[in-house]
Structure 1
Amino acid sequence: MQAVQNKLALAAALLAVTAATHAVDVDVRGEYRTGSEAWRSRIKIGNQWQNNFGASLEAGMFNGKGSLNEFKSDFNEIEAWYLYKTSPDVTVIPGGFLTWSSAGSAIKPYLRVNWAFAPTWRADVRARYDHNNYDVGSTWQMPAGYTYYGRNDQWQFDFWLTKWIGDKTAVEYNYAWNRKDDKQFVYNNGRNWQYLNNLKVSYSVSPVFIPYAEVGYLGKVASLANDDSEWRLRIGSVFRF
């Protein structure tokens, strides 16, 4: 409970700072994964300033497996970025994340480019490298009683395609591909790589209330012990002040 209180205090501080300078977005979201039967939620507070700098603070919670019976800290994340327009239709966005949890911290620099190639269409690509500042143990294909330790870093490559329908509805498709930097580590599919397909639909009920829903397919990655397909279902809303 103390960890949750600390997150809320930090979120409130960030909200106060951003509200004093420009508009602020508060994104609240719930999530359920079908294969692992895991429930999660998170709150994210972010702001895009007029000087092209942006930042956000995210706090994630794990809410239980099989039922909503827990409320414990999952992760904390700060993101910062800068918008650099190379042309009226193309924007280059260097940025990065600082993530921390009970396991340790990680830094995740990235480079993102978006292209508004038509009046109601936009495409984004992003390359990100996730570096853990702590060692992780792996027993994958190790002799009995032996554990391999390493940083378990990974690459992530994303592609987004967004279509606006009218002035209220947006449909976004996201494909993400991850690869472990150290072949001794594997994802729950037993491979050094995994992928994600995600579809998101949002609707602007008003300028300050934008609900959305997402469905994502992560492949057969529920756990190494079985090959259950992992579908990720999300419902959330952005409150814009």
Structure 2
Amino acid sequence: MKKTALLLAACCCPIVGHAMTFDMRGGYKEASHSYESRFKMSQSFKSGYWLSMETDNKQGNDNLDQSTISYNEIEGNYKYKLSPMVAIQPGIVYHWSTDGAQVRPYVKIIWNMTDTVYSGVRFRYDWNQYDSKDLSGTQDKGSVERLDLYLGWQNEYFSIQDNPVFYRYVNDFHYNNGKKSAYENDLVIKYKLNKTFQPYVEWDYMEQQGKYNSESGLTENRFRIGLTINFE
């Protein structure tokens, strides 16, 4: 609790930092007929550090009257510039829900190809601190290896980012597609209304990971709409 309080203080104090951002979004999974929402506060620092805290909620299936907290996350990273165009960004995510906690260390490499085009790659390992029942019925950790690719473009008014994601279970677990590995592609389009308000839309193709009424392997699309508010 003490660590969480300190992090919240850091995220909510623009005097010692460089920029604070509040992001809120809502989403809907087409095949699973499920609604979601997220609220996230982040703080960047001139030294290169970045901190955030978020809470994600589920609003139930087919209606909005079953709202529950899905999970919470605290994240921190540091951006180290190798050159004016290339940077490396090690970081870590602490994730917790009713199932248990998960630690997610990662390293991201960012390449600013031009003034308007950038790309990146991130390697992340999601280590479960709790055991779950695997396919053989024994208790094991459902830890995951994950690879993210990024390609983005931005100008004064718009930013577009495409983010293919590949992930696989380390141990004997399967996703809703019936496989040990899975893939999704996230496309985000953001409009820079002004320095403070930036609305955006997102489309995620999640292959055959949908599940509804005990039926798995459904082709899943997730649609999100959100608003980023910048405080400087």
What TM-score range do you get, normalising by the shorter chain? Answer: over 0.9
Of 13, 16, 21, which residue of structure 2 is paired with 1:18? Answer: 13
> TM-score, normalised on structure 2?
0.92
Q: What's the counterpart of residue 32 of structure 1?
A: 28
Please report how far the alpha carbon of residue 30 of structure 1 lies from its aligned counterpart in structure 2 after TM superposition: 0.5
Of 168, 176, 179, which residue of structure 2 is paired with 1:188? Answer: 176
* SS of equivalent to 1:21: coil
Contact map agreement 2:28 2:35 (CA 8 A) in 1: yes
Q: What's the counterpart of residue 117 of structure 1?
A: 113
Q: 1:44 and 1:186 mapped to 2: Cα distance? A: 29
Q: What's the counterpart of residue 152 of structure 1?
A: 142
Unaligned runs of 5+ in 1: 1-5
Q: What's the counterpart of residue 3 of structure 1?
A: none
Q: How does 1:15-164 map to 2 (within 5 A)?
A: 17-22=12-17, 23-138=19-134, 140=135, 142=136, 147-164=137-154
Unaligned runs of 5+ in 2: none
Q: 1:69 and 1:126 mapped to 2: Cα distance? A: 37
Structure 1 outlier segments of 4+, above 6 Å: 9-12
Letter in 2 for 1:179: R
Aligned: 1:212 with 2:200: yes
Percent identical pairs in the alignment equals 28
Q: 1:176 and 1:212 mapped to 2: Cα distance? A: 20
Contact map agreement 1:220 1:228 (CA 8 A) in 2: yes
> TM-score, normalised on structure 1?
0.89
Contact map agreement 1:15 1:45 (CA 8 A) in 2: no
Please report how far the alpha carbon of residue 52 of structure 1 lies from its aligned counterpart in structure 2 after TM superposition: 0.6
1:102-140 deviation line (CA, Å, top 9, x unaligned): 1110000000010001221000100000001000113x3
Contact map agreement 1:11 1:57 (CA 8 A) in 2: no
1:185-212 deviation line (CA, Å, top 9, x unaligned): 0011000000011111001101000000
Aligned: 1:227 with 2:217: yes
Contact map agreement 1:110 1:128 (CA 8 A) in 2: yes
1:177-233 deviation line (CA, Å, top 9, x unaligned): 001101x20011000000011111001101000000000100011137333211010
Contact map agreement 1:28 1:43 (CA 8 A) in 2: yes
Contact map agreement 2:77 2:90 (CA 8 A) in 1: yes
Distance 1:28-1:10 versus aligned 2 partners, 3 A rule: farther
Q: 2:209 and 2:8 mapped to 1: Cα distance? A: 37
Contact map agreement 2:12 2:43 (CA 8 A) in 1: no
